[in-house]
Structure 1
Amino acid sequence: MIEHSFPVLGQQIPVYVPTTVDDFRAFQRYITGRANAGERVAFDTETTGLDTFSPGFRIRTAQFGTPDQAWVLQVEKGEDLQRLASWALRTLPELSMQNRNFDSLACDRHLPDIMLEALAPKTLDTYILSHLSDPRRRDQGGVGNGLKDASAHYVDPSAPDTAAGLYDEFHEIGHTKDTGWRHIDINNPLYLSYAGGDVILTSRLLPKLQARVKELGINPSLIPFEHAVGFVCALIERRGMRIDRGYTTQLSAELADESARWAEEAKKYGVENINSTRQVSAALLGMGEEIKERTAGGAVQVDGNVLKRLADVDKQWDPIGSRTPNPLAMAILRSKRASKWRTSYAEAMLRTADENDRVHPKIGALAARTARMSISDPPFQQLPSGKWEVRHAIRADDGCRMISVDYSSVEPRVMAALSGDERMTAAILRGDDLHNLTAASVYGPGFTPGQRKVAKVVQLGVAYGGGAATIAAQTGLSLSAAQDAVKGYKRTYPRLARYIRSLQAQVIRDGYTLRTPSGRRLVFDRDAAYASFNGEIQSTARDIFAQGLLEIHERGLTPHVLLPVHDEIVADATDSQAHEVAREIGEAMTMSLRGIPLGTDPDVGGHSWGSLYMKEATTMIANDSWYAAHPDAAEAAEKARA
C-alpha cells in the first residue's frame, strides 16, 4: 500500500493508493463498511482534460473519501482497476461530488457498467449547495463555488489548492495548466495526494453547506429541483449534437479568410494591428470620432461596445440607424468576430467531436449569479440570435428535422408579473406588442421603426438598471433625447417604475440581498442595488425555463432535445413526427406566472440548426457567392423562404 497524506486543519489525513491484491481487498472492506453504515462517500476523478467525449480522453484516477481518509484507484493502469472503481460506485448507496455532471458523465462513458441514470439519484452536488448559499464568484465578493474557494471558507482556509498546486509540477515536465493533466506521472506523490485531498474536502464541505443553506432559510425544495435540472442537462450533454464535418472544415477556412480580409481593410485607415488599442483609438480619433469612454488607466476605450456604437449596430449586430457607420469600426468588428467564430466554434467543434462526429457542449445548469445556464465548448449561447452560419454546422440525425421552441417575450412578461403593472398586464393579455405600446407612448402613434427599436432598448435598459447615459450609448440618441425616452417609458408603466424603486430600497434594507419568487437568494454589490430588478427578472425567467425543461423530461421528450440555450429548446425528430414533437415540447414549457401567460413559439426547420434562422436571411441568396459555394445551405434557405 502506498500512503500519502493531505493536510486539513493541522492534521495529515491519510491518502491510500492500493497496488496489491491485499490492498484492493482493504479498499473493498472500506467501501463495504461505508455502504453497510449508510455513510455518504465523496467521489472524484482525475482526467486527461475537460473534453469528456473527444478521442483520447481518459480517466486517470478515481478516488473515494470520507472526512478521515481517501482512497485513490489508478484506473488508468488497467481494466481490473476500472472494474473495481465501477464496483465501488455501484455498491455505495450515497455519494457526494463537486460538479456532479462532469464526473458522472466521465464515468458513464469510460468506466464499465456505470450509467448516469444510476449515479445521479444517489449523489449530492456540493457545487449546487454552494451556489444556493452564495451565487457569487470570489471575484464578485462572494465565497466562490469552486471546491478550493468553498473549502477555504467553510472547511480550512489553509488547505492547499489541489489544482493550482500542481501547476509547478506541470511546468517541470514542460506542460501548461491545461496540458499537464494528461502528461503528469500517475505515480507523482503530489498528484496522488491532491487527488485524495479533493474527496476529503468534498466530504467535509457537504455538511457545512447543508447547515448554511438551512441557516439562510433558502427554500429547501430548490435542492432537489436543481439536482433534477442538472440531471436532465447531463442527459442532453451525453447525447450531443451531430456536426457536418465537411461544412465545418470549410467554414473554418472561410472565417480565417474573412478575418484576414477585414484586417486588410483596417490597414487602409492606418491600423496595422487591430488588437492594438493605441492604433485603433488613434485612427478613430483621427477620423473625427468623439470617444468619451476611458479605461481604468485613462486611455481611450475601444472595446466591442464602443466599436458597435461607432459602427451603428446593436448587440445582435442589427443596424441601429442613428448615424453613418464608421467603416474602420465595422472592419475591426468583423475581423475579430470572424476570428472568434473560427476559434470558438468551427475549430472547437472539429477538435472536441467524438468518433461519431457529435459535439457535446457542456451545459452549466446553475451558472451565473442569477442561476442562468451557461453553454461552453462550444459557447453556443454567445452566438447572435439572428445568425445562422455557425448553426448550420449542427445537423439533425438522419431522417430528422430540427426543432426550436422558445418562450414568447418571456422577460417582459416576467416584468409584468413581478411588478403587477396594470397597463403592461392588460397589453399582454390583449396580445399587444409591448414595444409598439412604449414607442407610441413616447413618440406618438406615428412612430418609426427606428423609434420602436429605441423603445425596445429603453424597456430593457430601464428593467436592467441602465440609465439614460447607457441608453444613449446603445442607441446613438443624445443624452437629452434618451432622458425623454426614459421618462416616457416610466409614464407608460407607472406601477413598474414604483415597483423598481421599492425593490431597490428593500434590497438595501435587507443587506443587499433579494429572495426571488422561487425562494432563491441573490446577493448584490453595495453599489449595485439598481441591478436588483434585472437580477429578479433573469433569475425568475431562468427558473421558468428550468421548470419547462423538467416538464419536457416528465413527458418523455428529453431524447429529442439537443440543447437548452437562453430561453430556447433546440431539438430534432423524424420528418413525420417533427411538428407533433414541437407542439408537445411547446405545451410542456407553457405555464403562467401570477396570471401572466408564458407561451411558446414552436418552429420546425430543415436538417440543420441554421435552417431555423435562414428565414431572416433569404434575401441574401440571390447572386451571393457564399451560397454558390454552399448549395446545401442555399437549398435550405430557399425552402425556408418558400
Structure 2
Amino acid sequence: MLTFRHTVAGESVTVNVPEDTTDLKLFWDWLNRARERGPIALDTETTGLNIYSAGYRLRTVQFGDAHEAWVLLYEQGGYHAQYAREAIPRCREVLIHNAAFDWLVLDEHAGIRLEDLAPHTTDTRILAALIDPRQPSEGGAGTALKPLSAKWIDPAAPDTQGGLTRVFNSLGFTKETGWAGIPLTHPTYLLYAGLDVILTARLAPVLRRELDRLGVRHQLVTYEHEIARICAVMQRAGLLVDQDYTSTLAGRLAEEAERYATVAARYGVTKVGSSAQVTEALLGMGERLTERTKGGALATDKTVLLPLADLDRDWQRIGARQPNALADAVLRAKRAGKWGKTYAEAFLANLSTAGRIHPTVSPLAARTGRMSVTAGLHQLPSSDHMIRRAILAEPGHVMVSTDFQAVEMRVLAALANVRRMKEGFINGGDEFDIHTYTAKLIKGENATPRHRKIFKGAGFGKVYGGGVATIAKQTGAEEAEIAQAVAAYDRAFPEIKRASSRWQRQAFQNRMVFISATGRRLPLDRDRTYSVVNYACQSAARDLLGQALLNIEGAGLLEYCRLPIHDEVLASVPQRDAEDIAREFQRCMSMDLYDVPITADPEIGGRSWGSLYGADY
C-alpha cells in the first residue's frame, strides 16, 4: 500500500493507493463503512480532455470522504479496474466536482452508464455556481475546485492543477502532454488525485449550508443536475462529420484567407491581424476612427470594421455607405483564416474513431446560466451554411431545428408586464412579428421596413443593454435617429424602464444580487446595474430552454437531440418520421410565461445541418 499524508484545514488526511489484492480488500472494507456514513466523493484522472479520441486512457479512479481517499490504479487493469468498476455502483450517493466530465469518462471507458450514475450524483460545481456564478475576472470565486476550496475549506488548499503542471515540466512534458506521460505511480500525481476527492467531500456540505442560508430553492438544484445530465447525453452522442467535405473546405478557406490578405496588402496591410497596420491604412484612406481599446489604442475589431465595410452583424449589406475595400478585405481574410483553423481543421483533428466530434455542452457557462458549446459552435453567424454543412445527421436521418420565436422579446414582455407588447403576443396569431408591430404602433400603418429595423435595434438594446452608439452601428442609422427611436420606444412601452428601476432597487436591497424568475442569483456590477434587464431576460430564456429539454426527454425524443444552441435545439431524426417528430419538438418547446405564449418553430432540413441555412445537401 502506498500511503501519503497531508494537512487540510489543520487536520491530517490520508491518501491510500492499493498495490495488490490485499490492499484492495482494505479499500472494500473502507467503502462499506464509508457509504453508511454518507456520500462518497468520486473523481478520475485521465490522459486529457478529448474523451472520445483514439488512445484515450482512464488512468485512476479515486474515492474519498472528508478524511481519507483511495486512489485505484485503473490503468493497470486486472483487479484494480475490476474493483473500481464494482465499487461505483455500490455508492448510494456520490459527490463529483464537474460531474459531466467524469460521467462521460466512466461511461465510455469503464462501462458505467451515465444514466445509472447521474441520478445518485451531487455536483459541487453546480452548487457553487448557484451560490455565485461569477468567474474570478468578474469578482467571484469561480467554479474551479482550487479557488472554491481556498474560499470555503482552507486558504492553503493546494493548487493541484498548477502543482502538477510544474511536475509535468520537470519531467519534460507540457501541461497538455503531462496527463498522459507522467508515471502512474508518481507520488505528487497520486497525492493530488486523492486530495481532490477529500476537498470535494468537504466542499459539498459547506455549499449546501450556504445555499440554504441564501434561500436558494432545492428544486433549482435538482433542475440543474437534470439539465447537466441531458447535456451530457447530447455530448456523448456527438456530431457526425462529413470528412470529405470538411477537408475540401479547409483548403478552400485557406485559399480565401490568402486571397483577401493579398487585397489588404495593396493598401499597405501585410498582416491582417496587425491592428496598428490596419489603423494606419484606414486613417490614410480618410476614415475616422474613434473607438479605443482598453490600452488606449484606436480599435479596429470586427465591431469597428463591419460598419466601415457596410455590413451588419450577419454580414449583409446595410446600404448606409460605400463599402471600404480594406475593411472588407481584412474582415474576410480574418474570418476565412479563423473558420479554417477553428472549424474545418479542428473538426478533422478532433474526430473520434467513429468519425464524430463531441463538443462540450456547458449548462452553466454564463452568469445568467446561459449554456455554451465548445468548438465555436455557439458563435457561428446566424446565416452561415458553409461550416454547418460539415455536420451530418445519422444515415437515413435528416436534421431538424426547433427554435423559440422572438423569445427575448416575449420574455421581456412577460417579466416586465409590458401591456401593449403582451397584447400583441397574445392576440397577434402565428404570423405575429413584434418588430413590425412596434414600428406600426409608433409610426402608424405606413411604417417601413427601415422603421422595423430601427425599432428592432431599439428593442434588442433594451434586452441586451446596447446603447445608442451600438444600435446605430448595427442598424446603419444616425445616432440622433436612434436616440429618437429609443425615446419613442420608452413612451410606447413605459413598463420596461419602470421594471428596470424596480429590479435595480431590489438588487441594491439584496447586496447587489437580483433574484431571477426561477430563483437564480444574478450578481450585478455596481457600475452596470442597468444590465439587470439583460440578466433577467437571458436567465429566464435559458430556463425556458431547460424546461423544453426536460419536456423533450419526457416525450422520448432525447435520443435524437444533438445540441442546444442559444434558443434552438438541433436534432437528427429518421427521415420517414421527420414531420411527426418535428411537431412533437414544437409541442415540447411551446409554453406560457406569465400569460405570454412562448412559441417554437420547427424546420426540417436535409442530411446536413447546413441544409437548414441554404446548403444543397
Q: TM-score, normalised by structure 2?
A: 0.97
Aligned-residue offset at 1:38: 4.8
1:409 aligns with 2:406: yes
Aligned equivalent of 2:576 = 576
- Given candidates 395, 398, 410, the residue that maps to 1:398 is 395
Q: What is the SS of the residue equivalent to 2:147? A: helix
RMSD: 1.5
Shift of 1:577: 0.4
Partner of 2:88: 89
Match of 1:30 in 2: 30
Question: 457-466 or 47-56: which moved more?
Answer: 457-466
Q: What pairs with 1:256-335 in structure 2 (closer than 5 Å)?
A: 256-335=254-333
Please report how far the alpha carbon of residue 443 of structure 1 lies from its aligned counterpart in structure 2 after TM superposition. Answer: 4.9
Aligned-partner Cα distance in 2 for 1:296–1:397? 46
Correspondence 1:66-145 to 2 at 5 A: 66-112=65-111, 114-145=112-143
Q: Which residue in the other structure is 2:586 paired with?
A: 586
Query: C-alpha distance in 2, partners of 1:444/1:509?
Result: 41
Q: 1:190 aligns with which of 188, 191, 214?
A: 188
Q: Contact (CA 8 Å) 2:69, 2:194: kept in 1 or not?
A: yes
1:502 deviation in Å?
A: 2.4
CA-CA distance at 1:283 after TM superposition: 0.9
Per the alignment, residue 371 of structure 2 pairs with 373
TM-aligned CA deviation for residue 331 of structure 1: 1.4
Query: Following TM superposition, by how much is the alpha carbon of 1:201 offset from its aligned partner in structure 2, in angstroms?
Result: 0.7
Partner of 1:323, secondary structure, is coil
Superposed, 1:504-543 pairs within 5 Å as: 504-543=504-543
Q: Secondary structure, in 3 states, of the residue corresponding to 2:489?
A: helix
**Distance across 2 between alignment mates of 1:442 and 1:482:** 14
Tell me, yes or no, if the aligned pair for 2:462 and 2:533 is still in contact at 8 Å.
no
Contact 1:243 1:394 (8 Å CA) reproduced: yes
Alignment of 1:226-237 (within 5 A): 226-237=224-235
CA displacement, residues 315-354 of structure 1 (integer Å, 9 cap, x when unaligned): 3323333222222112111112122222222122212221
Q: Separation in 2 of the partners of 1:324 and 1:440?
A: 30
Contact 1:54 1:351 in 2 (8 A): no
2:551 corresponding residue in structure 1: 551
Displacement, 1:441? 4.6
The amino acid across from 1:88 in the alignment is A
Once residues 7 and 388 of structure 1 are traced to their aligned partners in structure 2, the CA distance between those partners, rounded to angstroms, is 55
Matched, 1:344 2:342: yes
Verify the 8 A CA contact 1:513 1:521 in the aligned structure 2: yes
CA–CA distance in structure 1, aligned partners of residues 547 and 613 of structure 2: 26
Shift of the 124–483 alpha-carbon distance from structure 1 to 2, 3 Å rule, reads same
2:167 alignment partner in structure 1: 169
Paired residue secondary structure (1:436): helix
Q: Which amino acid aligns with 2:588?
A: A
User: Which of the numbers 153, 156, 159 marks the counterpart of 2:154?
Assistant: 156
CA pair 79-332 structure 1, distance change in 2 beyond 3 A: farther
1:410 alignment partner AA: V
- Once the two structures are TM-superposed, the CA of residue 311 in structure 1 deviates from its matched residue by 2.0
Contact 1:344/1:379 (CA < 8 Å) preserved in 2? yes
Question: Helix, strand or coil for the counterpart of 1:321?
Answer: coil
Count of residue correspondences: 614
Cα displacement (A) at 1:20: 1.8
Distance (Å, rounded) in 1 between the aligned partners of 2:141 and 2:130: 11
User: In structure 2, what is the equivalent of residue 250 of structure 1?
Assistant: 248
Q: Which range moves more in the overlay, 552-561 or 328-337?
A: 328-337
1:562 CA displacement:
1.2
Corresponding residue SS for 1:527? helix
1:526-579 per-residue CA deviation (whole Å, 9 max, x = no partner) reads 111110010000000000100000010011110111111111111122121011
The answer as to whether partners of 1:256 and 1:339 remain within 8 angstroms in 2 is: yes
Aligned to 2:433: 433
Q: Report the secondary structure of 2:347's partner residue.
A: helix
**Is residue 236–residue 561 contact of structure 1 (8 Å, CA) maintained in 2?**
yes
Structure 1 distance, partners of 2:54, 2:532, is: 44
Aligned partners of 1:572 and 1:578 also within 8 Å: no
Letter of the 1:19 partner, please give it. E
Distance, in Å, in 2 between the alignment partners of 1:554 and 1:52 is 28
Gap regions ≥5 residues in structure 1: 615-632, 637-642
Distance 1:306 1:32, change over 3 A: same
What amino acid maps onto 2:533 in structure 1? F
Q: Distance between the aligned counterparts of 1:443 and 1:173, measured in 2?
A: 71
1:444: Cα distance to partner?
A: 5.0
Higher alpha-carbon deviation: 332-341 or 519-528? 332-341
Please show how residues 348-497 of structure 1 align to structure 2 within 5 Å. Answer: 348-376=346-374, 378-431=375-428, 432-441=432-441, 443-497=443-497
2:343 and 2:376 in contact (8 A); partners too:
yes
Equivalent pairs: percent with the same residue? 43
Q: Distance in 2 between matches of 1:239 and 1:522?
A: 32
> 1:450: Cα distance to partner?
3.4
How far did residue 373 of structure 1 move?
0.6
User: 1:630 corresponds to which residue?
Assistant: none
Q: Distance in 2 between matches of 1:10 and 1:289?
A: 64
| Counterparts of 1:159 and 1:515, CA distance in 2 | 31
Q: Distance in 1 between matches of 2:295 and 2:449?
A: 39
Contact 1:441 1:489 in 2 (8 A): no
Give the Cα–Cα distance (whole angstroms) in 1 for the partners of residues 317 and 43 of structure 2.
49
Cα 1:314–1:156, aligned 2, differ >3 Å: closer, same or farther? farther
What is the distance in 2 between the residues matched to 1:80 and 1:314? 61
> Once structures 1 and 2 are overlaid, which stretch shifts more, 395-404 or 429-438?
429-438
Letter in 2 for 1:278: A
Partners of 1:320 and 1:420 in 2: how far apart?
33
SS in 2 for 1:175: coil
Cα offset for 1:29? Answer: 1.1
Q: 1:219 to 1:320 in 2, by over 3 A?
A: farther
Given residue 288 of structure 2, which amino acid in structure 1 is its aligned partner? E
Q: SS at the partner of 2:316?
A: coil
Letter of the structure 1 residue corresponding to residue 570 of structure 2 = V
Moved more, 450-459 or 138-147: 450-459
Question: Structure 1 residue 480: deviation in Å?
Answer: 1.8
With 229-238 and 444-453 compared, the bigger mean Cα shift is at 444-453
Q: Distance in 2 between matches of 1:315 and 1:209?
A: 41
- Deviation of 1:442 (Å): 5.0
3-state DSSP of counterpart to 1:46: strand
* Alpha-carbon separation, structure 2, partners of 1:265 and 1:49: 41
- Paired AA for residue 206 in structure 1: A
Which segment drifts farther, 431-440 or 264-273? 431-440
| C-alpha contact 1:405 1:603 (8 A) present in aligned 2 | yes
Q: Distance in 2 between matches of 1:447 and 1:325?
A: 27
Q: Which amino acid aligns with 1:66?
A: D
AA aligned opposite 2:100: N
1:410 and 1:598 in contact (8 A); partners too: yes
- After TM superposition, give the deviation of residue 511 of structure 1 in Å: 2.1
Partner amino acid, structure 2, of 1:287: M
How far has the Cα of 1:159 moved from its partner?
A: 0.7
| Deviates most, 365-374 or 306-315 | 306-315
Kindly indicate whether the alpha-carbon contact (under 8 Å) linking 2:227 and 2:363 is maintained by their aligned counterparts in 1. yes
- Secondary structure in 2 matching 1:577: helix
Query: Does the C-alpha gap of structure 1 residues 318 and 501 become closer, same or farther in structure 2, counting only changes over 3 Å?
Result: farther
Q: Distance in 2 between matches of 1:458 and 1:176?
A: 49
